[in-house]
Structure 1
Amino acid sequence: MTQHQQNELSCAGCGVRIQTESKELPGFVPVSALEKEPLICQRCFRIKHYNEAASVAVDQDDFLRLLSGIGNTKALVVHIVDIFDFEGSLISGLQRFVGNNPVLLVVNKIDLLPKSLNMNRVRNWVQRQAKQEGLRTVDVVLCSAKRNIGFERVIEEIERYREGRDVYVVGATNVGKSTLINRLIHDYSDLEQELTTSRYPGTTLDAIHIPLDDGKAIIDTPGIVYSSRLTEIVPRSFLGTLLPDKPIKPLVYQLNAGQTLFMGSIARFDFVEGERQSFTLYVANGLNIHRTKLERADQLYEEHKGGLLGGPAKEQLEEIPAWTRHSLRVKQGSYSDIYISGLGWIQVNSDSGALIDVYAPKGVKVIQRPSMI
């Protein structure tokens, strides 16, 4: 088969153009399967034969064009976010695109939070933060698709707000969207029907329609890639260290001004000014944390990045953008998180106030927010 013939092939399940280069992009088929009839992409194959959807990803511009079609339909929009990377996985501007359609916010991976947490407090925090980001939601559901916590509630709320309409599922990469889609397929779908496709105006992207028993569909949209998340720019081999897979064990440090914490070799936290106080780190348990004096921090990093400090190997670090400094002042008597997208957050328990510098790769989102916990 020539390259030209291959370029003309489309998936019989969803209609996307077939490609053999990248498993992460829509339309992937192994070269060995190109002669099969009917020819379907790997994502459709997994849905049809294993009741299992695989995640595919698109960049932000393509995704926003894709979203523009939702406002012209009557549907329920299920927006899945990651509680561990809340601001990094929230789709900013979603409200502009969905029109008057209701948005159900499904907050996944709550199994990663310490078990002692009051979930009502977390839910209230999520509602406030979503509202501040301009997102109007009909409800917020906390769940863990992986651990099967709260999933019945997700199903109940989808039924409550769907009202016989299609369901669009949207989310960033690595938020657990595929796991949740797979549960919906298992609970909802009659896969004897054919998968169908919809092509969005102004884009070549296709979304898979997974048929429901009432003639409507779950529309699985590709995951959006946000380069402002650390998880998108570190080597894939390091993701297992960065992404927690079990409840986070908070790490409490009593610091004096002029002390530094290195989080692996990928971020740095400087306590510049303030009285001695405690800082609590909520990061993956396997991430190496190293404390030193601020005056020694630059030299220590140059000598030990990728080694003693942990994190990606030194040669891999050269592929990551150089650090940018973020200066943040925590007001006296406030309870704040210093949040680094894709890494976690540092809770500042400040009665006296603090001046903090955070160093992270250029483009990674670093913000101060009201304390989650």
Structure 2
Amino acid sequence: MTETNEMQNEEIRCIGCGAVIQTENPDELGYTPNSALEKGKESGEIYCQRCFRLRHYNEIMPVSLTDDDFLALLNQIRDANALIVYLVDVFDFNGSLIPGLHRFVGDNPIMLVGNKADLLPNSLRRSKLKDWIRQRSNEAGIRPIDVELVSAKTNESVDDLLTNINKYRKDRDVYVVGVTNVGKSTLINQIIRQNTGIQELITTSRFPGTTLDKITIDLDDGHELVDTPGIIHKEQMAHYLKGKDLKVVQPQKQIKPKVYQLNPEQTLFFGGVARFDYIHGDKKHGFTVYVENNLFIHRTKLENADNFYDKHFGELLTPPSKESIDDFPELERFEFKTERKSDLVFEGLGWITVPENVTVAGWAPKGANVLLRRAMI
């Protein structure tokens, strides 16, 4: 029997992303050289080449999985008897929502977990945030049995989450689901670390689509905790930016809100990735901006905004960097008239809290989403 057939029978999987290990085709999922496979067998930690390069060199390699492949993997959950831990990014809540979640979780109960709670201002009471998340989830047709808040990165409240998972799972497996980039693998790593002491077993990255197949961790009572591949949500900003540019727009520390006093017909640019226009209102208003603290924001007149963008895109207005502007989509405009205090949301970038009875517009890369929601804060 060849080693390849032997591997297929044994189904050795990459512990970083879950892909089945193979040594034949460098362009396919799960490829690792024979030499690396032998070393991995000796150490007990086998990574595919993609995960190895991502972990050690922060290089992302393209994958051949399609959206349908991801959904097919997740559809297995419908037939499982499991507690569904549905992870969302509280900073990118709308970009974290999974359309039609009920279609592939079946009758399994859902625990909704808001990750990256450490990014939001301390002035926002956690009980109020939980209520806001539950209300927005109900509007999306999701009826969670509980709402929890954590920070997988800082380990905030992960102990409480584990206690509640054990409370609700009732002799069932646990499936962790979410869109790409919400921090699922980071959370799983915290759980593994607390239970085994092993650090960073699963590959984590700010790049979308790091986990490629379900990753299974045995629980003490014979059941399993399963990290599923993130559903690719193409409306998130992360799909339109590359490595260093992506780092500039994704918050790493607690957000410091910035208030801009704007007159009608004024514009704010967020680097070169987004734009906000205050089009019409009866007076000067304060607009509160929640984006990564180091993202460059520039104010100008609305009448000059198009020319200003054309002139300074990729130079003064970055990201994207000058090397990336050729691949960056043109900005698409979304206009709204508010009836109440609201958030104008750039999915994956942040939001601007706007007052009632004003007309505003948000611009984002074509394909990324801009929407209006009830104000979070």
User: Could you tell me whether the CA contact under 8 Å between 1:106 and 1:140 is conserved in 2?
Assistant: yes
Residue segments in structure 1 that go unaligned for 5+ positions in a row:
47-54, 192-204
Q: Which residue of the other structure, out of 343, 350, 369, is the alignment partner of 2:349?
A: 343
User: Could you tell me whether the CA contact under 8 Å between 1:188 and 1:212 is conserved in 2?
Assistant: no
Distance 1:292 1:208, change over 3 A: same
* 1:248-278, Cα deviation, whole Å (9 max, x unpaired): 0101011111100000001111111112111
Distance 1:354 1:152, change over 3 A: same
Give the match's secondary structure for 2:359: strand
Distance 1:146 1:99, change over 3 A: same
Q: Match for residue 55 of structure 2? A: none
RMSD (Å) for aligned C-alpha atoms:
2.9
Distance 2:234 2:19 in 1: 28
Q: Match for residue 153 of structure 2? A: 146
In the TM superposition, structure 1's runs of 4+ consecutive aligned residues that sit over 6 Å from their partners are 4-8
Shift of 1:66: 1.6
User: Could you tell me whether the CA contact under 8 Å between 1:60 and 1:226 is conserved in 2?
Assistant: no
User: Could you tell me whether the CA contact under 8 Å between 1:337 and 1:370 is conserved in 2?
Assistant: yes
User: Could you tell me whether the CA contact under 8 Å between 1:225 and 1:232 is conserved in 2?
Assistant: no
Structure 2 residue identity aligned to 1:372 = M
Distance 1:122 1:247 in 2: 15
Distance 1:289 1:136 in 2: 38
Residue segments in structure 2 that go unaligned for 5+ positions in a row:
52-59, 199-211
* 1:184-209, Cα deviation, whole Å (9 max, x unpaired): 22344699xxxxxxxxxxxxx74222
Give the match's secondary structure for 1:318: helix
Q: Match for residue 354 of structure 1? A: 358
Distance 2:122 2:34 in 1: 46
Distance 2:133 2:156 in 1: 18
Structure 1 residue identity aligned to 2:342 = S
Distance 1:320 1:230 in 2: 11
Q: Which residue of the other structure, out of 228, 232, 245, is the alignment partner of 1:225?
A: 232
- Write the mapping of 1:169-318 to structure 2, written as runs, cut at 5 A: 169-188=176-195, 206-275=213-282, 276-318=284-326
Structure (1/2) with the larger strand percentage = 1
User: Could you tell me whether the CA contact under 8 Å between 1:76 and 1:162 is conserved in 2?
Assistant: yes
Distance 1:283 1:190, change over 3 A: closer
* 1:151-172, Cα deviation, whole Å (9 max, x unpaired): 1221111001111111111122
Distance 1:301 1:274 in 2: 24
Give the match's secondary structure for 2:153: coil
Shift of 1:7: 10
Aligned length: 344
Distance 1:341 1:15 in 2: 29
Q: Match for residue 107 of structure 1? A: 114
Shift of 1:95: 1.2
User: Could you tell me whether the CA contact under 8 Å between 1:28 and 1:41 is conserved in 2?
Assistant: no
Distance 1:38 1:213 in 2: 25
Give the match's secondary structure for 1:42: coil
Is 1:33 the counterpart of 2:39? The answer is no
Give the match's secondary structure for 2:214: strand
User: Could you tell me whether the CA contact under 8 Å between 1:7 and 1:18 is conserved in 2?
Assistant: no
* 1:318-363, Cα deviation, whole Å (9 max, x unpaired): 21222111011112xx11000011100000133xx11111111111
Distance 1:227 1:330, change over 3 A: same
Alignment TM-score, normalising by the size of structure 2: 0.83
Distance 2:29 2:88 in 1: 21
User: Could you tell me whether the CA contact under 8 Å between 1:190 and 1:212 is conserved in 2?
Assistant: no
Q: Match for residue 373 of structure 2? A: 369
Distance 1:190 1:274, change over 3 A: closer
User: Could you tell me whether the CA contact under 8 Å between 1:59 and 1:224 is conserved in 2?
Assistant: no
User: Could you tell me whether the CA contact under 8 Å between 2:347 and 2:370 is conserved in 1?
Assistant: yes
Q: Match for residue 319 of structure 1? A: 327
User: Could you tell me whether the CA contact under 8 Å between 1:189 and 1:212 is conserved in 2?
Assistant: no
Alignment TM-score, normalising by the size of structure 1: 0.84
Point out the more displaced range, 104-113 or 319-328.
319-328
Point out the more displaced range, 106-115 or 303-312.
303-312
